[in-house]
Structure formats: structure tokens, C-alpha cells
């Protein structure tokens, strides 16, 4: 199973990014973490072992299309995985938060 994951990570390196955008160091399979993997898409976290720059990439399997975005965060990969699995926030939840902040903050919202 570990070989399958490493082969999958190597595929993402060859398909999405071979080198770090910031310092140019080559990525290895140890620099990638699969955040989410479904039959339709994958979300991959790239972290440069040299300069520590991080990117999140999405790969749409049926179309072979990828998109990579640099991220500045203090979240660990495990925390990103946790948040990626959450359901979307409903409009009602957003409204409840807005009303809570409006009632409980000194600053006008």
C-alpha cells in the first residue's frame, strides 16, 4: 500500500509541480501529503523541504487538470485535513455568527 501512495505522490510531482516555486528545489515524495483523495479529485499539500514554502494543489482526475495555490498558514497538514472534511457553512450559521458578533462586540459590525 505504501508503494501505491508513493507512486501516486510521484505522479503528482510529475504532473503538477517538480520544483518549488520559491527556491527551485526539487520535490520528493516526502514533500507531499494527500489531504483528500476521491475518485473525482485529489487535494495535495506540497511543502518544500528546503525553504518550507507551502502550496495546496487540486487535481481533477477525469480532466487531468490541476491548480496550485501558495498558502501562508500556521496550520499543520493534519489540521488542514480536518477542515477539508467539514461540510460547508450554511447561510444560517453565518447569520448567527454575525448576530452574535454584533450583539457582543463593542465595535459596530
Judged by average pLDDT, the poorest of 18-22, 33-37, 38-42, 75-79 is: 75-79
For the chain, what is the mean pLDDT?
88
Nearest CA to 12 among 76, 54, 34?
Answer: 34
| Sign, Cα dihedral of 70, 76, 77, 81 | negative
Summarised one tens digit per residue, pLDDT across range 48-68 is 999 989 889 999 998 989 988
Give pTM, 2 decimals. 0.71
Give the SS3 label for residue 44.
strand
Where do the structural domains in the chain lie, given as residue ranges?
A: 2-104
Amino acid at each position: 500500500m505504501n508503494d501505491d501512495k508513493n507512486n501516486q505522490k510521484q505522479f503528482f510531482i510529475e504532473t503538477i509541480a517538480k520544483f518549488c516555486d520559491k527556491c527551485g528545489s526539487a520535490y520528493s515524495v516526502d514533500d507531499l501529503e494527500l489531504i483528500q483523495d476521491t475518485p473525482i479529485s485529489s487535494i495535495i499539500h506540497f511543502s518544500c523541504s528546503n525553504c518550507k514554502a507551502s502550496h495546496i494543489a487540486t487535481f481533477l482526475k477525469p480532466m487531468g487538470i490541476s491548480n496550485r495555490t501558495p498558502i501562508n498558514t500556521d496550520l499543520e497538514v493534519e489540521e488542514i485535513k480536518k477542515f477539508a472534511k467539514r461540510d460547508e457553512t450554511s447561510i444560517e450559521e453565518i447569520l448567527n455568527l454575525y448576530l452574535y458578533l454584533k450583539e457582543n462586540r463593542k465595535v459596530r459590525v
